[in-house]
Amino acid sequence: MIRMNDLTKYFDGVCAVSHISLEIPDGMMFGLLGTNGAGKTTVLRMLAGIIEADAGEIRFDGEEDSFSPSSREALFYLPDDPYFFPNASMDVMIDFFKKQYPGMDKDSAIYMAESLNLDESLPLRTFSKGMKRQAFLIMALCSGTKFLLCDEVFDGLDPIAAEMMKNLFRKEMKARDFTVVAASHKLGDLEDICGNIAILHKGGVVTAGDFRKRAEHVSKFQCVFQTETDLDRIKQCPAVFRFHEDARFITLMTKGDSGEIRRMLEENDPIFINEVPLSLEETFIAEMEGVGYDIRKVLQ
């Protein structure tokens, strides 16, 4: 388990991370979502021991010294722009990482690379941005560490490559005790793979948790009503918190018992009514409008 308590960091008098407290259970892929400057990278670098927090504490599995050599062997940090030696190939970097991480599985790394059509013998400098990202994600997955910290986790990958990498993450997490903290400024990178997500904004946590569970009492309906229907009556219903009209095609987001809301809508004699699944972004909207934030502005 990773525990952050009241984590705070200043740079030249500017607060980059403000009193962040998060608990990440074992075996979870946890997402840090936010724009550039939100504090994601600073949080990851503090977790990795690259920079020191000005206040607060970090605990890995309850260890008092989270930055001891044994603790460091259990943690792999993958920055947004990872370093590699000039002219080094993937094969050379695997051997380098193996000196730091005894659990590094070189055979698995080469197998994964070949399955993604990456030549482990070619210099990494010849790889595209997306190919480099795949290469380092593979090395991180095969390092054998319990904890993996990834900054801009799938940045630069095309949709097919991103999905292939996500499948590798899923398999690795099923196979062993493995906890991942993945940061991204793109909701799509995290929404279908992270169990919990924390949204960071201006150095602080706006909200965090399993938003799909939180959305159990949030519903989305699409309806078409007769021209004489009193739409204001529907709009003013306490259960309706978002109402959009497009040429009598109505989209509603509601809170409460979906069965009761559907019955209320049917009382207005709709021509058409359908309940549709919420996207994760719509779930965030529902969650954050209640605390005075517009998620679209937070993630711009």
pLDDT digits (tens, 9 = 90+) for 133-155: 999 999 999 999 999 999 999 99
Does 58 lie in the same domain as 124?
yes
Encode pLDDT of 176-218 as tens digits: 999 999 999 888 888 889 889 998 988 998 878 876 666 667 8
Does 32 lie in the same domain as 56?
yes
Does 117 lie in the same domain as 256?
no
Does 218 lie in the same domain as 160?
no
Does 111 lie in the same domain as 13?
yes
User: The domain spanning residue 60 has which CATH number?
Assistant: 3.40.50.300
Q: Which of 141, 176, 209 is the last residue of a domain?
A: 209
Does 263 lie in the same domain as 114?
no
Does 190 lie in the same domain as 261?
no
Range of the domain at 283: 213-298
For the chain, how many structural domains are there in total? 2
Does 91 lie in the same domain as 202?
yes
Which has more confidence, 64 or 85? 85
For the chain, give the percent of residues with pLDDT over 90: 62
Instruction: Please determine, for residue 67, whether its predicted confidence score (pLDDT) is greater than 80.
Output: no
Does 75 lie in the same domain as 32?
yes
Quickly state the pLDDT bin for 24 (edges 50, 70, 90): very high
Does 63 lie in the same domain as 187?
yes
Least confident of 4-13, 46-55, 280-289: 280-289
pLDDT of residue 242: 84
Q: pTM of this prediction?
A: 0.80
Q: At what angle do helices 159-175 and 129-141 cross, to 10 degrees?
A: 0
Encode pLDDT of 215-249 as tens digits: 667 889 999 998 888 888 898 898 888 899 987 79
Does 87 lie in the same domain as 31?
yes
